């Protein structure tokens, strides 16, 4: 019975430790906070696409792809980190014609974990 009490206590300690550490671990990955243009927005042709994350992102391992309404890649240079804010990636955009666009992003945070996402916007 003494062994059983020890195992129960160990299980309780592990459960508490897991509950305490899980929110911290979940927040350790780069997540998109906002973008310009914003997801779902309709805008005049932007010159720049910016993605702001909840933590510093690693420029050399992060990527942004822009596709037009037909699903064709729009040629853009590699994204670069904002010199004033290491949580923001910028992509210089060519002149965009009116229509729908899809953004796919890959962000690697300081912890080395890779996150992906996508959103759409429309150029009027």
Torsion angles phi and psi, residue 69, rounded to 5: -60, -25
Q: What's 39's DSSP letter?
A: T
For the chain, 124 residues long, the average pLDDT of each consecutive 10-residue run is: 56 47 56 97 98 96 97 97 96 98 95 94 98
Residue 122, judged by CB atoms within 10 A of its CB (0-12, 13-18, 19+), counts as middle
Of the candidates 82, 62, 64, the one whose C-alpha atom is nearest the C-alpha of residue 74 is: 64
Q: pTM to 2 decimals?
A: 0.76
């Amino acid at each position: 019975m003494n062994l059983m009490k020890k195992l129960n206590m160990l299980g309780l300690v592990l459960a508490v430790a897991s509950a305490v550490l899980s929110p911290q671990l979940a927040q350790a990955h780069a997540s998109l906070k906002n973008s310009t243009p914003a997801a779902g927005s309709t805008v005049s042709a932007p010159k720049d696409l910016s993605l702001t994350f909840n933590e510093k992102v690693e420029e050399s391992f992060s990527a942004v792809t822009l596709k037009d309404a037909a699903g064709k890649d729009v040629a853009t240079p590699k994204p670069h980190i904002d010199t004033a804010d290491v949580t923001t990636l910028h992509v210089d955009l060519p002149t965009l014609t009116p229509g729908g666009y899809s953004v796919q992003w890959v962000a690697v945070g300081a912890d080395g974990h890779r996150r992906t996402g996508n959103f759409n916007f429309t150029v009027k």
